[in-house]
Amino acid sequence: MRPAKHNYGEAVMGKAINFYLAGSLAVASLFAGPAVAQDVTAAADGAFEVQTVAEDLDFPWSIAFLPDGDMLVTELSGQLRLIDDGTLVETVIGGTPKVLYAGQGGLSDVVLHPDFATNKLVYLTYSAARDEGNTLVVGRGTFTGSAVENFEVIFEADAYRKTIVHYGARMAFLNDGTFILTSGDGFDYREQAQITSNDFGSTIRLNDDGSIPADNPFVGDDAARDEIYSYGHRNPQAILQDAASGVIYANEHGPQGGDEINVIEPGNNYGWPIATYGVDYTGAYVSPLKSYPNATQPLLYWVPSIAPSGMTLVTGNAFADWNGDLLVTALAPGNVSEFANRNMRRVILEDGAVAGQEAIRVVASGTPEDETPRLRDVRMAPDGSIYVLTDGEGGKVLRLIPAGGMPQAAVTSESAVTEEAAAETEPGIVEKLGGKAAAIVEDAGTAIGDAAEEAVDAAEDVAEDISDAVSDMADEAAAEMDEALDSEPVK
């Protein structure tokens, strides 16, 4: 039987356990190997162009690409917006849920069902007020073009809190059709991230209808919630799966320092708050440990913090040099003095390991050199371009394309003539089509002439055969007549 709510007595017990572990494992931490932390280089300028797609959004938080090329964008303040044919529609999308918009809470992620083209299902994550305290919620509904109809709550996290921070709230569909969701530690409830009888500080895996997959790692464990996939997280701000390898990547905020990228494995404990590379905001230790037995180390950590937000895996041929690498947007690039004006990191991956980092600056055209916006999200578009959301009031949707423009897509032989003609001026088209028509007529005339000549020859052959046959038949008839006359008496 699974506990329905977390027990505040467990929080006290959790603190006691943590302090005990901290003391007993302090010696072990002296010998523990550090997580991979790479040197960072500044990316070369001029690698891409930045186009402003939309602006004056109210704390844009997430973006999803519709099959027809349009886009849905969430605003943390509670609105779902449509970008139609490159233009932000003034009227907000109807049918969205009431959200708790306060602190870091509000309308967060927007994700399309893998079969959206046929079922039109849109998923939203958001914070909502409840009698027990506010928490993280997932709902879904049918997108009609102007509204989300039949919206229903399919999951509510057992992470009720009085705080208005650290919700996590990112989700992503996995290769198997389930989805994974991040749930933060609520800040004041950090010890709960080590207790699996609640959803604080965890990743959660669900079926597309919100039910629990039978193969989740804690199914059947009476001391844990069935939906939990991993635990020991602080405030995970992005999660995705590499479709090719199946690897799940997530990033999360540390306190002061200790931001992480993790490879998420089922059932694993990622250490928070017993082990961390960061310190508290007062400068005091959260824990003296950077690692401890059976806790998974991060793939990468940052000290000082960059406050990672969105993250995407680069695919396609538009940014071929970045293919297979992670792009991570930053909310606090200024913490790193030598890269204070660079608000995105390219994490270079080779065979699953971090091979280096580049610090990148993403700004709208005309932005002064001494201004670098906080970035909230980054996503790969279906055409291979990269979309970035700036954070805050007056937020922007920016599109990154390679310097010199997007590469031309390959065309089939059937479409090549049409695309070639479309690139010409009208007189050129007429002249080209006229020439093609003349050539076709000439070829047709030749073919008809050849066919007619062959038909005449065939007819002559047939006539000759018929004449020979008739002549033979006449000779045979005459011979038979002669025989008949010879044999009959004269009358």
Catalytic (active-site) positions:
166
Query: Which helix (H) or strand (E) is 53 found in, with range?
Result: strand 48-58
Please name which of 257, 8, 14 lies closest in space to residue 133, comparing C-alpha atoms.
Answer: 8
Both structure tokens of 254: 């540390």
**β partners of residue 260:** 252, 301
C-alpha span between 125 and 136 (Å, rounded): 7
C-alpha span between 360 and 182 (Å, rounded): 26
How deeply is 182 buried, as exposed, middle or buried, from its count of CB atoms within 10 A (0-12, 13-18, 19+)? Answer: buried
Place of tokens 């694993």: 268
Strand pairing of 235-241 and 228-231? unpaired
CB 223 within 8 A of CB 277: no
Strand pairing of 40-42 and 48-58? unpaired
CB 32 within 8 A of CB 223: no
Q: What is the DSSP letter of 183?
A: E
Q: What is the DSSP letter of 201?
A: T
What does the longest C-alpha to C-alpha distance in the chain come to? 149
